[in-house]
Structure 1
């Protein structure tokens, strides 16, 4: 199993956030966050964690998700580490120029010598998505088959195709419903350097293809991740494209349905993989000396943020059990009872991971981290205890797992 640290990141303490002091705009609070994630990711680099990942959300003056540019955060941490991979969960593709995204990821990959992981998503937070999406005529999506949802999907699909083309060859062209690359009749005849030293110019002096520079480090195949869909269609798309999807779901039946869909679709396109390969599971993870200490600390982390923020955004659906109807509470007690909280002593968390591995065998465990809300010294102690008393039990587990599908 590969262990990935996930940061929103939060800025400020719970008291600062609840007081309405807007810690997201407070320089001291932001600098404290940068210091804490720097020390934590540097430690993770030495302790053998696989990757660190950052979300993309905007306008979070409240301090809950101050990560408007996950590529820049990836580079910031990449310049201070040697081995750990740097990921985004995720770049929200419908709201970005796809060529700029392809270029920025390639630069990150070059500057970190092949440690970039590309994460992509469609965008669900209306406050920022509907503001920044105006230029493309798109807003947040709730996968409801609405006109807005269809437009979001259209942009996501085309932007993804353009990004892959930009990485795949020296030069490329694209003609879709939204983009024509390069525009037809783009004259550049006076610039002989393109004809003499470059690629992509036709005999008539017009640009037929363009290429990005730099390319990905050593022209490698980059890992691509996608969070946090409940849709079988999305999981089948990921399987076809060799993308790692990450799930929020906690119900074993629902989890198995998504993994089954991925595995079946992967086999259809000739990907001979073990059950659970290229699958990520997302959990709040916190290790402490006692179960009581872990619960006390986590109550101010995800125990505060989930019901205060994510529950109202629809995330409670990820907690729903098969056949369950009615409203999901989504409070800290509920999160623990439904299995989203992997918190406690190393022994407690080992037993939770054991169930996850035996039941679903995921290749990745995405671990929610809360700088500011959980004191820095407790976070550092948690990371060391997890790396030394939990991780060694599971880092080689996939080598001995069967490729058969659990019944």
Structure 2
């Protein structure tokens, strides 16, 4: 199993957020966050964690998940580490220029000599998605088969195909519903392009383009996609060699998605064991006692979940097969339904053992909450997990 630290990250303490001081805009609070994640990721690098990852969300002046550019955060940490891989979970494709994004990720991969992982997602938070998506006439999606959802998915798919072409082709063209690369009759009478490059026709029109640099890894960087609930998404990921990450806690739901991925992968010549090339997402925190672990986690993910993620609809991740009605958003619900892998090393080992026995995912994505969980407790957790949990599950 490969272990990945996932940072949103939170800027400010619980008290600062509750006092409405808008810690996301506070320089000292932001600098404190950078210091804490730097020390934690540097420790994780030395202790053998597989990767660290950051999200993309905008306008989070409240302090929740203040991470508007995961590529910059990846580069910032990449320049201070040696081995740990650097992922974005994720870049929200419908609201990016796909060529610029492909270039940025290729640069990250070159600058870290092959440690970049590209994360892609569709975008669900309307506050920022509907604002930044105006240029493409698309907004946030709730995977509800609506017209907005369909357009979001179409743009996501087109942007992904453009990025793949940019990464894998010396020069390329693309014609789709949204993009025409290059546009017709693009005049660029530059003899230097004809003499030293490619893509300039005898009529002085640009016929193809290529990005520079291309990825350090070949044919391109690995691609991950969070956080998937639908069989359609898992089948797409299987066809495209993408690693999907699931939030689900119900064993039946997990098994159904794993089987769908394995089945679809086989159709394109990928013979995988059940759980291979798939990740599971959990809140993970190791402490000296179970009581301490629960207390710290309740003030970290437990508090953020109840105030932020549950109102956004993430309770669906906790729904049991066939269950109807509302799902609670408090920490006890999260713990009872298996989202919280918290407590002593023995307790967390037992939880992972059950996950491996039932589903055997290749990746465990571990939610981290600096700021809300004190830095010294985070550092102790990272070390204890690496020394007393990780050795039992790393291949």
TM range (shorter): over 0.9
Which range is displaced more, 201-210 or 355-364?
A: 201-210
Gaps of 5+ in 2: none
1:296 aligned residue: 295
1:3 aligned residue: 3
Which whole-Å CA distance do the structure 2 matches of 1:220 and 1:96 have between them? 22
1:105 aligned residue: 105
CA RMSD of aligned residues (A): 0.6
Post-superposition Cα deviations, 1:4-31, rounded to whole Å, max 9, x if no partner, equal: 0000000001111111111000000000
1:384 aligned residue: 383
* Residues 109-188 of structure 1: pairs in structure 2 closer than 5 A: 109-188=109-188
* Aligned 8 A contact 2:302 2:331 in 1: yes
Structure 1 segments of 4 or more deviating over 6 A? none
1:275 offset after TM fit, Å?
A: 1.2
1:228 offset after TM fit, Å?
A: 0.7
* Aligned 8 A contact 2:167 2:219 in 1: no
1:348 aligned residue: 347
Which whole-Å CA distance do the structure 2 matches of 1:219 and 1:169 have between them? 11
Post-superposition Cα deviations, 1:367-407, rounded to whole Å, max 9, x if no partner, equal: 000010000000000000000000000001xxxxxxxxxxx
1:35 aligned residue: 35
1:197 aligned residue: 196
Secondary structure of the residue aligned to 1:228 is strand
* Residues 230-245 of structure 1: pairs in structure 2 closer than 5 A: 230-245=229-244
Secondary structure of the residue aligned to 2:365 is strand
Which whole-Å CA distance do the structure 1 matches of 2:257 and 2:17 have between them? 36
Q: TM-score, normalised by structure 1?
A: 0.96
* Residues 361-400 of structure 1: pairs in structure 2 closer than 5 A: 361-396=360-395
Secondary structure of the residue aligned to 2:221 is coil
1:91 aligned residue: 91
Check if 1:315 corresponds to 2:314.
yes
Post-superposition Cα deviations, 1:300-328, rounded to whole Å, max 9, x if no partner, equal: 10010001000010100000001110100
Secondary structure of the residue aligned to 2:214 is coil
* Aligned 8 A contact 2:262 2:271 in 1: no
Secondary structure of the residue aligned to 1:12 is coil
Which whole-Å CA distance do the structure 1 matches of 2:201 and 2:276 have between them? 44
1:218 offset after TM fit, Å?
A: 5.0
2:80 aligned residue: 80
1:331 aligned residue: 330
1:402 aligned residue: none
Which whole-Å CA distance do the structure 1 matches of 2:330 and 2:252 have between them? 22
Which range is displaced more, 367-376 or 220-229?
A: 220-229
1:257 offset after TM fit, Å?
A: 0.4
Q: TM-score, normalised by structure 2?
A: 0.99
Gaps of 5+ in 1: 397-407
* Aligned 8 A contact 2:168 2:219 in 1: no
Secondary structure of the residue aligned to 1:133 is helix
1:285 aligned residue: 284
1:61 offset after TM fit, Å?
A: 0.3
Distance 1:218 1:261, change over 3 A: closer
Which range is displaced more, 195-204 or 33-42?
A: 195-204
Post-superposition Cα deviations, 1:216-274, rounded to whole Å, max 9, x if no partner, equal: 01544321000011110100000000000000000000000000100000111110111
Post-superposition Cα deviations, 1:273-319, rounded to whole Å, max 9, x if no partner, equal: 11111000000000001001101111110010001000010100000
1:203 offset after TM fit, Å?
A: 1.8
State the aligned residue count.
395
* Aligned 8 A contact 2:109 2:217 in 1: no
Which whole-Å CA distance do the structure 1 matches of 2:229 and 2:169 have between them? 33
1:26 aligned residue: 26
Secondary structure of the residue aligned to 2:160 is helix
